[in-house]
Amino acid sequence: MLGGRSHALVRLHNRGIVLQAILQHGRLSRRDLCGLSSLSPAPVTNIVRELIDSSLLYEIGTRDSATLGKVGRRQVLLELNPMGAYVVAVHLGVQRQVVALADLRANVFARWSQSLASGTSRQAAAQEACEAARRLVQERGPVGSRCVGIGVGVVGAVDPDSGVSEPDPQLGGESIPIGHMFEQALGLPTFVENNVRAMALGETWFGHGRNIDNLLLVYVSSVVGCGIVTDRRLYRGNHYGAGKLGHVIVEESGPRCSCGNRGCLEAIAALPAISAAGREASVQHEETLLHQLAPAGVDFISYSTVFEAAALGDRTAIRIVDRVADRLALAIWNLSRVLDPDLVVLALSSFADRDRGLIMSKIEEIITTGFLGNAAERPVIVETAIGDDIGLVGAATLALERFFRAPCLVPETALKQPSAALVP
C-alpha cells in the first residue's frame, strides 16, 4: 500500500500529466484529459480544481454542441494560463549574456542583455547576470504570478548535477558554481546546462519537437554543436560532453581547430572559420569579388562578405559556401545514421536570412542527391521554429521542464533579502 510520501509523489506526477497534456494539445475538456492521460474522472476533476485555484488553468467556454452526440453533456474547455507562473532564463555566452523572464509557454516578456569584452572574467560576468536577474524579477515579475525556477544555458562544459560551469580548454576560465550563485541570489531552484543541449530541449518542448520523441538539434554560429534528445530526454554522455559535433573530423588534412586537431567541422563551418577562409582565398585569388566588397582590406572580409560575394556569383566565394554546406551535410548524415532521429533541426544563429536560406537549401540538396541508400531513412531537416531567441527558450525550458513534470503549487521561497552588494 502506498505511504503518504508515495501518494504525494503520485499526485505530483498526475498533476504534471494533466498540465503537460494541455500545454501540448491546447484547449481540452476534463473528458479529453481522462482519455489522454488514462486517469479516471475523479482525480482529473480534483487536479483540475487545484490547478484552477492556483491560476495555472482557466475555463474558457464550452465545446461547440455540434461536435457532441445528442446525449453528450456540454464539455467545459480548459486552457493554460501562460502567466500563471514564470521562469528566469539566462544565456551566458562568450561575447554576450542575456537574462529574461519567460511565461509558461516560454514566451519572453522581459529581458536584459550585456556585451562582454574579450578578457572579461566569466565569474564576474555571471555575478552581473545574477544581479540583473534579481532586478528583473523584482521590477518586471508579474503581480500575482510566481517565479518557479531559473534555467541557465552556458557555453562550454557544464556539470548539470552540481550546476558548475567547468574550465574549458577553449574558453579558459575557472570552475564557476553558477547554480549556487543564482540560488543564493534569488532563492529559487536553478538548473544549469550546456547552452546547445538546452536549445535542443527548448525545441523539443516549444518548437518542432512537440509531437515527436527523438530530435537532433545542430547549432551553427561562432561555434558548432548539437543537442541530442531521445524519448524526450536530453542525452548528456558519460562526462556531460555529448554534442561536440563541432569537433567531429570531416577533413583529414583540414584547417587546424582551436581544440588542436585538424579538420574539425567547427574549423570549417563556424562563422569565424568562414571569415578566415574568405581572407585566405582572397590572398590567393586576385580576381575575386571579395576584394571589391571589402575595399578597406583583406582583414575586413567577414563571413557575410563571403556570402554576399557568393550571392553575386563569385566562384571563389561559392566554393567556400559549398564546402561549408557539404561538410555540415556530411556530419548531419553520419550522425543521423547513428541516431536515426525523427527530425534534425538546424539553428543557424547569427546568419542573415538570405545566408541561412542558402545553406539550408544546399544541405537539403546534398542530403537528397549526394548520398545513396533508402530514401525513407534520409534525415528530415528543418530550421528551428523558435528563431533567434532559441538560447533563451532553451534556458527557460530547463526550469519549465521540471515544473511541468512535477508542478509544485506551494509558492516558491520569496526573494531573499537583498544583500548590500545586490541592491540595484
Q: Which of 134, 146, 236, 247 binds Zn ion (CB under 5 A)?
A: 247
Minimum distance from residue 270 beta carbon to Zn ion (Å): 10
Q: Which of 108, 116, 242, 259 binds Zn ion (CB under 5 A)?
A: 259
Comparing CB distances to Zn ion, the nearer of 162 and 170 is 170
Minimum distance from residue 170 beta carbon to Zn ion (Å): 8
Comparing CB distances to Zn ion, the nearer of 34 and 265 is 265
Minimum distance from residue 166 beta carbon to Zn ion (Å): 17
Select from 169, 83, 182 the least CA-distant residue to 131: 182
**H or E element at residue 253:** none
Comparing CB distances to Zn ion, the nearer of 266 and 308 is 266
Which residues ranging from 51 to 70 are in contact with Zn ion (CB under 5 A)? none
Q: Which of 22, 78, 150, 257 binds Zn ion (CB under 5 A)?
A: 257
Give the x-and-dash track for 261-280 against Zn ion (CB under 5 A): x--x----------------
Minimum distance from residue 396 beta carbon to Zn ion (Å): 30
Which range of residues in 156-164, 208-216, 258-266, 409-417 is near Zn ion by CB under 5 A? 258-266
**H or E element at residue 386:** none
Q: Which residue blocks in 26-148 are alpha helix, DSSP H?
A: 30-37, 41-53, 122-140
Q: For the chain, first and last CA: distance in Å?
A: 53
**CA 357 to CA 87: how far, in whole Å?**
33
Q: Count residues contacting Zn ion (CB under 5 A)?
A: 5
Comparing CB distances to Zn ion, the nearer of 11 and 262 is 262
**CA 424 to CA 416: how far, in whole Å?**
14
**CA 286 to CA 422: how far, in whole Å?**
56
**H or E element at residue 151:** strand 146-154
Which range of residues in 176-184, 259-267, 355-363, 386-394 is near Zn ion by CB under 5 A? 259-267
- CA-based torsion, 152, 158, 164, 170: positive or negative: negative
Comparing CB distances to Zn ion, the nearer of 265 and 309 is 265
The full 3-state SS of 279-330, as one line of letters, equals HHHHHHCCCCCHHHHCCCCHHHCCHHHHHHHHHCCCHHHHHHHHHHHHHHHH
Comparing CB distances to Zn ion, the nearer of 207 and 246 is 246
Q: Is 116 in the site for Zn ion (CB under 5 A)?
A: no
Comparing CB distances to Zn ion, the nearer of 201 and 270 is 270
Q: Which residue blocks in 315-383 are alpha helix, DSSP H?
A: 315-339, 353-369
Phi and psi, residue 12, nearest 5°: -60, -45
Which range of residues in 53-61, 240-248, 329-337, 364-372 is near Zn ion by CB under 5 A? 240-248
Question: By the criterion CB under 5 A, which residues form the site for Zn ion?
Answer: 247, 257, 259, 261, 264
